[in-house]
Amino acid sequence: MAQLRKRGRRQFLLTMLLVFLFLAFMSIFNMVTYYRASVASIESLGESSLAYESAKIENYVQKGRDVLCVTADTVDFMLDYGVPTEEILSYLEEETVKQQAKMDENFTGIYGWIGGEYLDGVGWEPPAGYVAKERNWYVAAAAEPGKPVIVQPYVDAQTNTVMISVTHMLSDGESVVSLDIALNRIQNITENIRIGGVGYGFIMDDKGLIIAHFDGDEKGKIYPTDEDQAVLVEKIRETGAGNFRTVIGAEECTIFTNTVMDDWHVVMVVNNTRLFEELRNNIIMQAAATVIVFLIILGFCYLAYRRLVSLGEKEQENDRRIQKLNSNIVKALAFTIDAKDRYTSGHSQRVANYALEIARRMGKNEEEQNMIYYAGLLHDVGKIRVPEEVLNKPGKLTTSEFNQIKVHTVSGYHILKDIYDEPQIAIGAKYHHERYDGTGYPDGLAGMNIPEVARILGVADSYDAMASNRSYRSALPQDVVRQEIEKGCGTQFDPAIADIMLQMIADDPEYQMRQQESVRKNILVIDDDKINITMVEQILKDDPLYRVVGTQTLAEGMKILEKEPIDLVLLDLLMPDTDGFEAFRKLREKWSVPIVFITADKSIETIQKAVAIGADDYVTKPFLPIALKERIHGVIYSI
């Protein structure tokens, strides 16, 4: 019981460790997921906020375009009808006052070169030598006639105000009407660019002129003025619309950018420490909650553990028996596939392993790999329907017998399609003997018409057939196997899958991918009655799978075990020199070889004792030949 409790404590601690690791993993996963989602949400919010402010800026400038378009159309009409210059100037003066009152005081004046004269709505008189056609507002309009044009922003030398001009060439191809707009309103918008009260904004044109800035002292400067700004400006130009992260003054910041007016960059700079402060606090709270949950689980699990321990050794023994029963059931299911074909021990398992590796190298996901692995394990399940004398025939099969073998593909399909939800497992069993050139069976499919799972199994199955031992030969040399795979590319095998198998062969210079155990099994008979040894030899003499070695004493039997590999011991239960149970104990102290008792004692007490000490089977005399052969085969190939 003390040992049991010690084991229980280890299991409890291991369970708690696994629970902790699971909670830690889930918490980290959730935190990372939450963090990423939150960051994405914050970034999306930042981009949305900036897009909203950008739209306000765009709309504001669009008002200037609309005012200028109406004014330009009117002046164009007046020119067409020969309205005197004095009336046109009067119209510009009235329109200037009207728009400042109606729209914005920052619409500072409407002017232009009209009908060969410079006219100004605010009454400004150009100085001597002033040539209107050389001014930026005229040149920009002449470069793109027929539509309103935004002139490159500039800083008014007297007021230090950033200005833009909206200009439009009229239909006569010479007259131009312009509107000057002070960007004070845009400066006000820029000062409110932030997210959750954090960050600051600025607007920069493509030449680096700061049109507006949260810090008024920065307005009018030309960026970059230092190395940090150079990096920032370059990334702003590259990004256009979106966000990126960079370091400003040794602190990481997120930069949100948008583009307006084709070449203006609206920028919001946010310090990440402040931007993600609430997010970090939430993550810390989640971590603390995880620890609390773990402590609660720990408490409940400890109480449960104490109750489980109190159930005692009997319940633990019952659990052990149930676990062993489940394990044996799984082994029995896996063993059933190869049980009838005695020359292909472990074939299904090896094919499954090779198919799994091929799938992994093909880049299949875990679910696909598992499906292909199980398809490999079960691909020959249809051999259950093939007569045993055909499967185990040592010589060449007749056409009729070979046709019976072929049926196993279809039989396997119909067995598996009714017990597996995954249809590809049944399909693999049905088509794994199809050939790439269309000469296979059962349906003569060719090329890509053969399901992929069957093409994978076809290569793995053929490889194991060559790399496995047979009653008439050992596994073929690796270079011969390689040559056969190469020869079958494009005829028997899918070339791409065959190439993967060739890569696997190249990666296996020690030729580990083959049947390691010998087909022929050595059976040691320890029986003081020579007749019994002779009977075993006679029963197995025509079966190439077995070689019988006999001795009449335990001591001689142990010498044989030391000299050569033995796959099964048939041990007489009653011998003159020792008790069979004692002999069993001595053998098991040194060797893990399977041991089957043979005796004339048919009492239930003796049988139960043999089972209790761990004997692999119990055979009574006289032997029923077919039963003895089946027991030997079952013990050897189920271990």
**Contact 107/64 with Cβ under 8 angstroms?**
yes
Peptide bond into 442 cis (omega under 30): yes
Asked whether the CA dihedral 117, 123, 125, 126 is positive or negative, the reply is negative
Q: Is 95 exposed, middle or buried (0-12, 13-18, 19+ CB in 10 A)?
A: buried
Q: What pLDDT does 329 receive?
A: 40
**Contact 229/223 with Cβ under 8 angstroms?**
yes
Tokens 């003066």 correspond to: 93
Q: What pLDDT does 459 receive?
A: 96
Give domain status of residue 231, yes or no: yes
Question: Which of 252, 275, 298 is where one domain is finished?
Answer: 275
Q: What pLDDT does 338 receive?
A: 63
Task: Provide the 3-class DSSP secondary structure of residue 244.
Answer: strand
- The secondary structure of 260-284 as a DSSP string is ETTTEEEEEEEEHHHHTHHHHHHHH
**Contact 554/578 with Cβ under 8 angstroms?**
yes
Q: Is 406 exposed, middle or buried (0-12, 13-18, 19+ CB in 10 A)?
A: middle
- Name the strands in the sheet holding 568-572, side by side, starting at the edge strand that comes first in the sequence: 546-551, 521-526, 568-572, 595-599, 617-620
Q: What pLDDT does 12 receive?
A: 66
Q: Which helix (H) or strand (E) holds 163?
A: strand 162-169
User: What does the pLDDT average to over 581-606?
Assistant: 88
Give domain status of residue 52, yes or no: yes
The one-letter code for the residue type at 385 is: R
Cβ neighbours of residue 618 closer than 8 Å, sequence gap 6 or more: 596, 597, 599, 607, 610, 611
User: What does the pLDDT average to over 274-302?
Assistant: 77
Q: What percent of the chain has pLDDT over 90?
A: 27
Question: Do residues 610 and 480 share a domain?
Answer: no
Q: With cut-offs at 50, 70 and 90, classify the pLDDT of residue 394.
A: low
Question: Do residues 35 and 144 share a domain?
Answer: yes
User: What does the pLDDT average to over 66-93?
Assistant: 91
Question: Do residues 151 and 16 share a domain?
Answer: yes
Give domain status of residue 513, yes or no: no
User: What does the pLDDT average to over 361-381?
Assistant: 91
Bridge partners (DSSP) listed for residue 235: none
Q: Which of 249, 287, 288, 289 is nearest to 271 (CA)?
A: 249
Bridge partners (DSSP) listed for residue 117: 114
Question: Do residues 197 and 169 share a domain?
Answer: no
pLDDT tens-digit readout, 140-180: 999 998 889 888 888 876 667 888 889 999 999 999 999 98
Question: Which of 141, 164, 182 is where one domain is finished?
Answer: 182
pLDDT tens-digit readout, 571-588: 888 877 778 888 889 888
Question: Do residues 29 and 55 share a domain?
Answer: yes
Asked whether the CA dihedral 496, 498, 501, 507 is positive or negative, the reply is negative
CATH code (residue 405): 1.10.3210.10
Q: What pLDDT does 341 receive?
A: 62
Question: Do residues 164 and 193 share a domain?
Answer: no
d(CA 489, CA 498): 6
Q: What pLDDT does 326 receive?
A: 35
Question: Do residues 469 and 527 share a domain?
Answer: no
User: What does the pLDDT average to over 504-516?
Assistant: 90
Q: What pLDDT does 162 receive?
A: 85
Q: With cut-offs at 50, 70 and 90, classify the pLDDT of residue 366.
A: very high
Q: What pLDDT does 226 receive?
A: 83
Residue 282 to residues 27, 87, 273, 286, 290, Cα–Cα distance (Å): 13, 69, 14, 6, 12
**Contact 257/202 with Cβ under 8 angstroms?**
no
CATH code (residue 11): 3.30.450.20
Cβ neighbours of residue 391 closer than 8 Å, sequence gap 6 or more: 340, 341, 342, 383, 405
What single-letter DSSP state applies at residue 490? T
d(CA 466, CA 470): 9
d(CA 87, CA 81): 12
Counting the structural domains of the chain, the total is 4
Tokens 């050569």 correspond to: 564
Strands 568-572, 595-599: pairing is parallel
Cβ neighbours of residue 11 closer than 8 Å, sequence gap 6 or more: none
Phi, psi values for residue 367, rounded to 5°: -65, -45
Give domain status of residue 566, yes or no: yes
Give domain status of residue 243, yes or no: yes
User: What does the pLDDT average to over 432-455?
Assistant: 95
The CA-to-CA distance between both ends of the chain, in Å, stands at: 31
User: What does the pLDDT average to over 85-105?
Assistant: 86
Tokens 């598996």 correspond to: 416
Question: Do residues 178 and 103 share a domain?
Answer: yes
Question: Which of 447, 482, 506 is where one domain is finished?
Answer: 506
Q: Is 621 exposed, middle or buried (0-12, 13-18, 19+ CB in 10 A)?
A: middle
Question: Do residues 78 and 122 share a domain?
Answer: yes
Q: What pLDDT does 336 receive?
A: 63
Q: What pLDDT does 196 receive?
A: 77
Task: Provide the 3-class DSSP secondary structure of residue 209.
Answer: strand
pLDDT at 639 over 60: no
The two structure tokens encoding residue 524 = 């040691």
Q: What residue numbers bound the domain in which 47 lies?
A: 2-182
User: What does the pLDDT average to over 262-267?
Assistant: 88
pLDDT at 362 over 50: yes
Tokens 């009492």 correspond to: 603
Give domain status of residue 409, yes or no: yes
What single-letter DSSP state applies at residue 394? S
Report if pTM > 0.85: no
Question: Do residues 547 and 454 share a domain?
Answer: no
pLDDT tens-digit readout, 399-423: 888 888 888 899 889 888 876 678 8
Can you state the angle between helices 347-361 and 452-466, rounded to 10 degrees? 130
User: What does the pLDDT average to over 456-469?
Assistant: 92
pLDDT tens-digit readout, 36-51: 777 788 788 888 888 8
- The secondary structure of 410-473 as a DSSP string is HHHHHHHHTT-S-HHHHHHHHHTT--TTS--SSS---GGGS-HHHHHHHHHHHHHHHSS--SS-
Q: With cut-offs at 50, 70 and 90, classify the pLDDT of residue 323.
A: very low
Candidate from 19-28, 75-84, 215-224, 614-623 with smallest mean pLDDT: 19-28
pLDDT at 570 over 50: yes
Give domain status of residue 311, yes or no: no
The two structure tokens encoding residue 320 = 């052990």
Average pLDDT, the chain: 84
Give domain status of residue 486, yes or no: yes
CATH code (residue 599): 3.40.50.2300
Question: Do residues 160 and 198 share a domain?
Answer: no
Question: Do residues 499 and 526 share a domain?
Answer: no
Q: Which helix (H) or strand (E) holds 99?
A: helix 85-102
User: What does the pLDDT average to over 109-121?
Assistant: 91
User: What does the pLDDT average to over 287-310?
Assistant: 73
Q: What pLDDT does 318 receive?
A: 66
Asked whether the CA dihedral 484, 487, 490, 496 is positive or negative, the reply is positive
